[in-house]
Amino acid sequence: MARKKFIAGNWKMNTTLEEAKALARGVVDAVGNISDVDIAVCPPYTNLSAVYEIIKDSNVKLGAQDVHWEAKGAFTGKVSCAMLKSVGVTYVIIGHSEQRQYFGETDATVNKKVKAARGSGLLPIICVGETLEERKSGKMDAVIERQVRGAFDGLSTEDALKCTIAYEPVWAIGTGETATPEQANDAHVFIRGIISKMFSDETAGAIRIQYGGSMKPDNAKELLSKNDVDGGLIGGASLKAADFAGIVKPV
Ligand code: PGA
């Protein structure tokens, strides 16, 4: 089955309101009318509304960087799915390695967030990936399998199909070091195999798997040419509209 490529920008903890508006305008100008690739930008919570106003009439969709699984209540600092929906959010990044590393995200909390997101119609972008130490010590497959199984545990096939997986080797994030296209593709094939075991070959064939980790205009084309690489989750290079555009439409 042909999978449509999906490029998403993860702005992380960058952009004040004015910076976000300028970046969103730049993205819309550069790629807003492209329809053969799915495109999303994921600004910080504080800029979601303003960015939505700028992108809403274009093909660029809005994503958030995290969400809390509870619907409402005394959870200081947290944001719910309904709140995200109410400001125009379509996608939500869940289980980013920075969340796992610094903020106590576990496979169990990832699973709760994925279920909450699906319950309210949001489209999860689920991040998985090994550290350098895990790769070197031969634990990579076990780690990725645990993360994928944890995230998708108890999901219906219908909900699983609404998820995107982002394979982001931790050693490649923000380091300038990129997985080779072969390393990325091998990991994606492995992940697809897990989805196949959990759901079916058909589901595994339909689900999109993005690569993330120092993807840039000059390496995107080669990565995206691989059979199992269905897009990218872009950090650093998504903060410049021209670089992001160079990944969406590599020359
Ligand atoms: P990077 O980040 O492109 O800056 O490596 C990717 C990510 O963390 O999603």
If one residue of 131, 164, 215 were mutated to test the ligand 1 pocket, choosing by the most ligand atoms within 8 A of its CB, it would be 215
Q: For residues 84 and 77, give the distance between their C-alpha atoms in angstroms, rounded to a whole number.
A: 14
Atom of ligand 1 nearest to the CA of 127: 9
Which pLDDT tens digit goes with each residue over 231-241? Answer: 999 999 999 99
Asked if the model's pLDDT at residue 69 lies above 80, the reply is yes
Helix (H) or strand (E) holding 142: helix 140-152
CA distances (Å), origin 100, targets 97, 116, 123, 143, 165? 5, 18, 20, 13, 16
Which pLDDT tens digit goes with each residue over 12-50? Answer: 999 999 999 999 999 999 999 999 999 999 999 999 999
Q: What is the per-residue pLDDT for 251?
A: 66
234 in contact with ligand 1, CB cutoff 6 A:
yes
Give percent of the chain with pLDDT exceeding 70. Answer: 99
- Contact between 208 and 164 under an 8 Å Cβ cutoff? The reply is yes
Rounded to the nearest angstrom, the distance between the alpha carbon of 235 and the centre of ligand 1 is: 3
Asked if the model's pLDDT at residue 1 lies above 80, the reply is no
Tell me whether residue 96 is one of the annotated catalytic residues.
yes
Sign of the alpha-carbon dihedral angle for 11, 164, 119, 113 = negative
Beta strands in 111-213 (DSSP E): 123-128, 164-167, 208-212
- Contact between 217 and 237 under an 8 Å Cβ cutoff? The reply is yes
Atom of ligand 1 nearest to the CA of 238: 3
Atom of ligand 1 nearest to the CA of 237: 3
Q: For residues 64 and 43, give the distance between their C-alpha atoms in angstroms, rounded to a whole number.
A: 6
235 in contact with ligand 1, CB cutoff 6 A:
yes
Tell me whether residue 168 is one of the annotated catalytic residues.
yes
Rounded to the nearest angstrom, the distance between the alpha carbon of 215 and the centre of ligand 1 is: 7
220 in contact with ligand 1, CB cutoff 6 A:
no
Rounding to the nearest 10 degrees, give the CA dihedral for residues 205, 208, 214, 217: 100
If one residue of 233, 238, 240, 247 were mutated to test the ligand 1 pocket, choosing by the most ligand atoms within 8 A of its CB, it would be 233
Q: What pTM does this model have? A: 0.97
One of 98, 105, 134, 168 is an active-site residue; which one? Answer: 168
Q: What is the per-residue pLDDT for 26?
A: 98
